[in-house]
Every structure is written in structure tokens, then in C-alpha cells.
Amino acid sequence: MTATGATELPRYADLPRIEELGARHAWTVFPPDDQLGRLNLISDEQVKAAGVEVQTGERFNLSFPLTLPDPSWSTQRKPLVHHVFEQNRNVRDDYLDQFYPQASSQWDGFRHVRAREFGFWQGAGEEIFDGDALGISAWADHGIVTRGVLIDVAGHLERRGTPLDVRENVAIEVDLLVETLEAQNCVLREGDVALIRTGYADAYLAADRDARADFADRRDCPGLHAGEEMAEFLWDSGVAAVVMDNPAIESVPGDPAVGSLHRRLIPLLGFALGELFDLGALARASARDERWTCMFVGVPFTLPGGVGSPANSIALR
């Protein structure tokens, strides 16, 4: 599958290859000081065109509450503490302690993952941490506003009579993404955000506290296959960002023999990745009228030098 308008970019197969990683990189596709990667594909024209997707006026918040997951899925992250205090008898204010921007629904920025000794996006080294280079605030300035395409893998498999087990390590292959898109009569276009639903977030949000503790203890979940075929498909599709409702984009636990999809997509190909987005209500609305596209609006936090950001995203239909 190719994306409309994606012919100006080289095909994945034509990108330079790093044999030690078994992966290709796009460091020569964008300017040497690039801060946006694939988000460069979201032009003013794409933003204007996305406006036609707003037909009913429905708005869908795609973010978990900042206090979830609870308990935390990382031993290195402490629970968020929200304080409300009195400035005077008429005014209240608040602040947060132990706020980890990547603890809930989140964007993974270019400082998040390095391609081993080959560096971060564009081959950058540790010098980026001396300033704001590759910080997520550049994404906030640009805005992630474009057409969103929901690829409802969970819904498609359920309608097919073979539901996906959201608590099992199931690697979603390219063929299943293509099958789902064809069943939805959808085509990915250059500059789109791919919103891929497994049903994991729905199950977590519906669980009680004891069950949520089990999610924290055993994080097995379906996600994208981490191999090079998936990286090739996503690059050639034209999408600017990949958003999923699971905690890792790829399936968990990963397979070292296959490699890391994070490494393929973030430092090597310049993708924006969104994790643990709440796509359930959007999926129900999309299934109701069989319209799987929306206007996607995501504005990461303007945090200079930030590694990641809360999702801060909505879909409009």
C-alpha cells in the first residue's frame, strides 16, 4: 500500500541501511538540523484538508486521566500527587509532585530512544542534552493537527469472529493492518496520523483496582510486529505519526531476535509515537456510521528539552 502524495519521499527500500542494526535510516531525507521528522509531512494544506472530517461536531478526548495507570507500570515512576492550596480566602491554586510526562497517555519524543552507538534522530549524540535540541517543544510549536485514520484492528477481528486477547503478546502483522483498512474502505494518505486500536485501553479503563494491579504486574499485550516489514509499511504509507491504545506500540514482551520497533521508528525514521491513547469512544462512533476518519488535534507540552509529553489530544468528527 502506498500513500497518496508520498512519492516525493524515497521508498523505504531506497533509504541507507545500517547493517549492524538491520534497519534503514532517513537522516538524509530531512535537513541536518531537523526537529520534526515525519511531522514535516503535516503541511498547511493537510491541516486545511482535515477540516472536512468534522461533520457531526463530536469531540473525543483521547487521553487517560493523568493519575492513570494506577498503580504505575514503572518502578522508576512514583504516583502523581495533586495538591490544591489556598492563595487567599477567594483564590485556589494547585501544583503537581512526581509528575512524569510519559507516565500516562503520552508522546514519545526524539530524546526518548537512541539507535545504540549510532545516535538519536539524525545521528545526534549526547550533546543534545546540553540544550533544547530534539526536545518535544518543537512538536508543540508545529502542532500535530491533521487527518486521523482509525485502524480498528480490535473491532475488525471481533466482527470477523476472532476477537483479540488484550492480555496476550500478539504481534499484529502488516497483512492484518492492510486487511483492516480494506474492510473499512480506508486508504492512508501522506501526513495522516494512524490511530491503531487493539482494545487494550478499553479493557484497562473498565477494570477495577485489583484488576488494574494485575495489568501493572503482567504487561503482556498485543501490538505491532517489531520487524523491518512493519517499519517499511509505515514509512511507505506516508503517515506522520503512529498512535496506539497499548503501552508500547509494539507487542509486549518484545522479541530480541526481531528487534525494537521503537528504535526503527523514532531515531532512525523520525516518527512521532503516541502510546496508551483512549480510542474506545472514537471506535464506537466510527463503527456506528462506518466512517473511520477524523480531524486529529494533538499539542504536546511546550517543555523545552522535553523527552516526552502527555498526549493532550482530541479527535473531532
Read off the pLDDT of residues 26-52 as tens digits, 9 standing for 90 and up. 999 999 899 999 999 999 999 999 999
Q: What is the DSSP string of 132-161?
A: STT-THHHHHH-EEEEEEEEEHHHHHHHHT
Q: Write out the E strands in 205-299.
A: 223-224, 241-244, 272-275, 293-298
* E strand residue ranges, 15-133: 17-18, 23-24, 59-61, 81-88, 91-97, 106-108
Is the bond preceding residue 71 a cis peptide, omega within 30 degrees?
Answer: yes
Tell whether the model's pLDDT for residue 11 goes beyond 70: yes
Give all strands (DSSP E) within 17-111, no chain letters: 17-18, 23-24, 59-61, 81-88, 91-97, 106-108
**Are residues 140 and 310 in contact, defined by beta-carbon separation less than 8 angstroms?**
no
Span 148-162, average pLDDT: 97
User: How confident is the model at residue 39, as a pLDDT?
Assistant: 97
pTM (two decimals): 0.94
Each residue of 276-286: b (16+ CB within 10 Å) or e?
bbbbbebbebb
Q: Which residues contact 5 (CB under 8 A, 6 or more apart)?
A: 189, 190, 191, 238
Greater confidence (170 vs 1) lies with 170
Residue 81 sits at φ, ψ, to 5 deg, of -120, 125
Tell me the CA distances in angstroms from 21 to 239, 242, 252, 253, one per residue in order.
23, 22, 20, 20
**SS3 state at 268:** helix
- Checking if the pLDDT of 184 tops 70, the result is yes
CATH level 3 topology of 6-316: Glucose Oxidase; domain 1 (3.50.30)
Q: Yes or no: say if 181 and 265 are a contact pair by the CB < 8 Å rule.
A: no
Contact between residue 292 and residue 193 where contact means Cβ atoms under 8 Å apart: no
Q: Are 205 and 278 in contact (CB under 8 A)?
A: yes
Please report which confidence band the pLDDT of residue 73 belongs to, taking 50, 70 and 90 as the band edges.
confident
What are the φ and ψ backbone dihedral angles of 100, each rounded to 5 degrees?
Answer: -105, 115
Under the banding of pLDDT at 50, 70 and 90, the label for residue 1 is very low
Give the single-character DSSP code of 266: I
Mean pLDDT of 53-69: 96
Phi-psi region of 220 (alpha: psi -120 to 50; beta: other; left: phi over 0): beta
**What percentage of residues in the chain have a pLDDT greater than 70?**
98
Q: What is the DSSP letter of 188?
A: -
